[in-house]
A = this chain, B = another copy of it.
Amino acid sequence: VALVGASSDPSSGGYAYAAHLLQDFKGRFYFVNPRTKEVLGVRTYPSLLDVPGEVDYVICCLPAGRVLPLLEECRQKGVKLIHLFTARMAETGKEEGERLEREVVEGARRLGLRVLGPNCMGLYNPEVGLTYGYHFPLEPGPVGGIFQSGGLSTDFVHYGSLRGLRFSRVVSYGNGRDLDETELLRYFGWHPSTRVVAMYVEGVRDGRRFAEALREVAARKPVVVLKGGRGRTGERAVRSHTASVAGRREVWRGVLRWAGAVEVETFEELLDQVVAFTFLPPCAGRRVAVLGGGGGKSVLSADVWEEEGFELPDLSPSLRERLRERCPGEWDWVGNPVDFSILQERPMMPEEWLELMEESGDFDFFVFNLTEDDPLPREVWRFWMEEQVNGLLRFRGRGRPLLAVVPSAGLDAGKLSEWRWGDIGELRRRMVEGGVPVFPSPERAARALRRFVDYWERRFRRETAWVRPPSCSSGS
């Protein structure tokens, strides 16, 4: 990797990429800058041609006007891909910017060089330690990302990693003038260790080509798509951001549905959806068991899960029969949701509840509301919280999806001295590391699970259609 335009100015991109290469990159890298001797203690070369070793990949932080001459140097050096962090091309809306972008991309193609960008953050590949932000995890994982916005891609890595996501590669592709969303999508469709693909897209170069690629990839792995620029103002903002044409909302919705992609509307939904696909085993059933939490939380959970199309079957007579002995005071009173606050003597521990409900066969998946509202002193509170978390981690869903709902307080450094928040954070981390995904509210969990079950239902139906005669597959 060669960084052209490496800089000692800490507020520049040329500095940020230098720092990230230095800190994270496992391969060889070179800094290029004719006006300095060194950057961050690493010697710089006056030009790309002076670099002693081979260069596959160039990160270009030069101003727009200085990109064209670099292309010829890239060809001589045998570079395969140039990433243009460089911006201020077509997205300025000015003719000279548009012309320059066209010239760069056409010039590169003539020289046998591929271009990523311009106006983007480039590649995050934890396998080789290529990063473009602080606090990017170096441990790889199954999530691929295709982002037309560099900032959102950074947020996706930051906030996603706190939710337990780990990434195969994330690509910020900006104006996408050469390597575009369709080609990237096909790459992730093929890429073996990518199991889920997240996309943020503002506009596409070729709608038909994109739709077909999307349909192919979505049949093999979940593709979650967040479309930016849905309204009138968004369309205007899309033009000045990545020089894209936003396209009509209804057309987009239709294409995503036809292709079998999973559409989300907000960044938070994108995270939730990828968390669901990453952590949970496939499931097409809608009978949900909700446990934990007090009465109010149980009531509101019931409302939102039902509003998202799920069913909360009541405890069956045979299940109640098994409860009668263990919970003599509540066996005929408690229901689904299982409101833990009415089980005053805690005759059964959370794990036993999960097991009993799982064994009944009445539920397709399990949602656990972790109660933190008890007015108890820390020791007792902590004991009960740990009892719940340990139970979840031992139960693990037994092959069925299991997820936890723990409200998020938002980070507030001023309050971290209160034991409550530190303890909840630690327990949340333990769940996530133990494979139990955590959602910050019942409604966010329920919305993600609705799309999750919809996806698997469609896929099961389609796959069944391939192996059975068509007449048997309809409605199955």
- Report how far A87 CA is from B330 CA in the complex, Å: 13
- Taking CB atoms, residues of chain B closer than 8 Å to A158 are 373, 409, 420
Asked if A28 is an interface residue, CB under 8 A from chain B, the answer is no
Of the candidates A15, A342, A423, the one having the most CB atoms from chain B within 10 angstroms of its own CB is: A342
Query: Provided the pairs A266-B304, A373-B154, A380-B10 are in contact, do residues A299 and B238 lie with their beta carbons within 8 angstroms?
Result: yes
- Of all chain B residues, which has the CB nearest A293? B151
Chain A residues 377-435 with CB under 8 Å of chain B are 377-380, 384, 407-416, 418, 420-426, 428-429
Task: For A375, give its contact among B20, B152, B411 (CB under 8 Å).
Answer: B20
Chain A count of residues within 8 A CB distance of the other chain = 111
For the complex, give the distance between the alpha carbons of A87 and B93 in Å: 67
When distances are taken between beta carbons in the complex, the residues of chain B under 8 Å from A229 are 299, 302-303
Q: Indicate which residue in B200, B294, B329 contacts A151 across the interface (CB closer than 8 Å).
A: B294
- Number of this chain's copies in the assembly equals 2
In contact, A152 and B16 (Cβ under 8 angstroms): no
B230 touches A303 (CB 8 A): yes
Q: Mark A221-235, 1 if CB is under 8 A from B, else 0.
A: 000001011111110
Do A307 and B230 touch (CB < 8 A)? yes
- A315 CB to nearest B CB, Å: 11
In the complex, residue of chain B having the shortest beta-carbon distance to the beta carbon of A270: B300
Q: Which of A300-337 contact B (CB under 8 A)?
A: 300, 302-307, 312, 314, 329, 333-337
- Alpha-carbon distance A141/B92, docked complex (angstroms): 48
A178 within 8 A of B: no
A155 cross-chain contacts in B, Cβ below 8 A: 373, 407
Is the CB of A163 closer than 8 A to any CB of chain B?
yes
Once bound together, how far apart are the Cα atoms of A242 and B299, in whole Å?
Answer: 10
Which of B152, B344, B411 is within 8 Å of A409, CB to CB? B411
Which chain B positions have C-beta within 8 A of A234? 299-300, 302-303, 306
The yes or no answer to A360 lying at the interface (CB within 8 A) is no
A228 touches B410 (CB 8 A): no
Complex contacts, A411 vs chain B, CB 8 Å? 408-411, 421-422, 424-425, 428
CB distance from A97 to the nearest CB of B (A): 9
Q: How far is the CA of A245 from the CA of B230 in the complex (A)?
A: 42
Q: Knowing A241-B339, A416-B416, A428-B412 are in contact, say whether A303-B333 is a contact too (CB < 8 A).
A: no
Which residues of chain B are within 8 angstroms of A421 by Cβ–Cβ distance?
411
Once bound together, how far apart are the Cα atoms of A240 and B266, in whole Å?
36
Whether, in the assembled complex, A19 has its beta carbon less than 8 Å from a beta carbon of chain B, the answer is: yes
Q: Is the CB of B307 within 8 A of A231?
A: yes
Chain B: CB-nearest residue to A410: B408
In the bound complex, CA of A303 to CA of B235 (Å): 9
A149 at the B interface (CB under 8 A): yes
Q: Which residue of B lies closest to A93 (CB)?
A: B333
Chain B residues within 8 Å of A409, by CB = 158-159, 162, 411
A11 on interface, CB distance cutoff 8 Å: yes
Q: Is the CB of B334 within 8 A of A240?
A: yes
User: Judging by beta carbons under 8 Å apart, are B241 and A299 in contact?
Assistant: yes
For A233, list chain B residues within 8 Å (CB). Answer: 302-303, 305-306, 312, 314, 336-337
Say yes or no: is A297 at the interface (Cβ < 8 Å to chain B).
Answer: yes
CB of A233, distance to nearest CB on chain B (Å): 4
Across-interface contacts of A413 in B (CB, < 8 A):
422-423, 425-426, 429
Q: Interface on A for B, CB 8 Å cutoff?
A: 10-11, 13, 15-17, 19-20, 87-88, 91-94, 121, 132-135, 147-152, 154-155, 158-159, 162-163, 200, 202, 226, 228-234, 236-238, 240-242, 265-268, 293-300, 302-307, 312, 314, 329, 333-337, 339, 341-342, 344, 371, 373, 375-380, 384, 407-416, 418, 420-426, 428-429, 438, 440-443
5 tightest A-B CB contacts, nearest first = A149-B296, A151-B294, A241-B295, A413-B425, A152-B296
A-B contact pairs, 5 of them (CB 8 A): A134-B418, A233-B312, A237-B337, A240-B295, A415-B429
